[in-house]
Amino acid sequence: MAQRRFLVASSLARLARKENGVGDRIVEGYLPPRPDLDHFVAIEPGHSYLVLVPTQDGSFEERTEVPRTQAEALLSICVGRVGFECTIVQLRGGKQARLQRFLVPEALDLISVEFAEGEDADGFDPPIWFGPEVTRNPAYDRGSLARAGMPPAPELPLSNERLDELLNVLEEGAIAAELGRGPSPKVLKDRPADRQGEGGVAAPGRSVESAHENALMAGLAEALQDST
């Protein structure tokens, strides 16, 4: 599944999170890379995984669920970590985007859009509130962010036009959700869409207000804090 990825100005990303809420909070720890394989451990609400990602033959990643205690033990031997929060943004034209707010190793906002097989990813016209595209820049891969840290942050211009466009998108998404034509603005996804080497579709969402999920997310917030 093809994907395109863009930077987003932090103030615009903050507005989107405020309106649509935060879904998953995820911690990933990356082990030393191999020439043919990347591997990392992922901890997200209710699940922990050991993930193997072939880097040469184009195969899909292998994701094996492991107990939380084992995942935390693996985190302790990882060479680098990332911690991020996810927010779903409903774009015009029916596409969904996944906004990721990185907290570890440093603050960074990325937004990604996925395209089904046969869909023209190159024909996608990004909204004006998106920042520069970094799809083909490996410095913004999560493994690179974990091991090498954040690349130099470019200046992202702001304007009333960009702000108005984002506000219109958020308002239209909220209205569509109320009318039953789209997902609720505040949803959780079981599986993050922006995974290296994976083309799967995220599972159905769950309400952020769930007390059980809030407890899980609080634990992940502690893990993010520990990783700093």
- How do residues 46-92 score in pLDDT, each as one tens digit? 999 999 998 876 678 899 999 999 999 999 999 999 999 999 999 98
Q: Which of 70-79, 119-128, 157-166, 207-216 has the lowest mean pLDDT?
A: 207-216
CA gap 118, 59 in Å, rounded: 18
In this model, does residue 210 exceed pLDDT 70? no
Report the SS3 class of residue 103: strand
- Comparison of pLDDT for 219 and 19, the residue scoring more: 19
State the pLDDT at residue 61.
Answer: 86
In this model, does residue 205 exceed pLDDT 80? no
State the pLDDT at residue 204.
Answer: 36
E-assigned strand segments in 142-190: 187-188
Instruction: Count Cβ atoms within 10 A of the Cβ of residue 195 and give its class: 0-12 exposed, 13-18 middle, 19 or more buried.
Output: buried
In order, the DSSP letters of 34-45 are: BTTEEEEEEEET
Q: Which of 1-15, 105-119, 150-164, 171-185 has the lowest mean pLDDT?
A: 171-185
The CATH class of 2-227 is mainly beta
CA gap 65, 67 in Å, rounded: 7
State the pLDDT at residue 2.
Answer: 87
- Comparison of pLDDT for 64 and 222, the residue scoring more: 64
CA gap 160, 70 in Å, rounded: 48
In this model, does residue 213 exceed pLDDT 50? no
In this model, does residue 158 exceed pLDDT 70? yes
Q: Which of 71-80, 112-121, 187-196 has the lowest mean pLDDT?
A: 187-196
Q: Where are the domains of the chain?
A: 2-227
pTM, to two decimals: 0.76
State the pLDDT at residue 97.
Answer: 96
* Residue 178's pLDDT band (cuts 50, 70, 90): confident
Q: Which of 24-38, 50-64, 156-170 has the lowest mean pLDDT?
A: 50-64
- Among the residues of 28-154, which ranges form H helices? 68-75, 142-148
In this model, does residue 228 exceed pLDDT 70? no
* Residue 104's pLDDT band (cuts 50, 70, 90): very high
CA gap 217, 221 in Å, rounded: 6
Cβ atoms of 69 and 4 closer than 8 Å = no
